Amino acid sequence: MITSPGRETSVGAVGVRFEGDVLHVMLTDGRDIGVPLDGVSWLKWLLRASPDQREGWSLEPGGFAVYWEELDDGVEVEHLLALQPLR
């Protein structure tokens, strides 16, 4: 779970989906973060995963991260948020 300094609002993952090679993580605040797997070097392991392996995700407690047990790897929401441009 991610909290902003001075705020009690926290953001965590509530769901995951894929559109081709784009990872989408749905957040508790309603945002949908879309990350192209071929554009992020530290997500190459997920780019190489089969569709069945990609579907084998689970949420860590509080939604602070998404984990793929079969792939023995995961992604923290905080790291995904750091990739997003400021608007």
Residue 83 confidence (pLDDT): 85
Residue 7 confidence (pLDDT): 40
The tokens of 47 are what?
């780019």
Residues 69, 62: Cα–Cα separation, whole Å: 17
The tokens of 45 are what?
């392991």
Q: Percentage of the chain with pLDDT > 90?
A: 82
Count of other CB atoms within 10 angstroms of residue 60: 15
CB 60 within 8 A of CB 73: no
The tokens of 73 are what?
């790897």
Averaged pLDDT for residues 5-34: 88
Instruction: Give the residue from 23, 51, 22 showing the smallest Cα distance to 71.
Output: 51
Residue 27: pLDDT band by 50, 70, 90 thresholds? very high
Residue 41 confidence (pLDDT): 93
pTM of the predicted model as reported, rounded to 2 decimal places: 0.84
Give me the CATH code for the 2-83 domain, please.
3.30.2020.40
pLDDT in tens, 37-76: 999 999 999 999 999 999 999 999 999 999 999 999 999 9
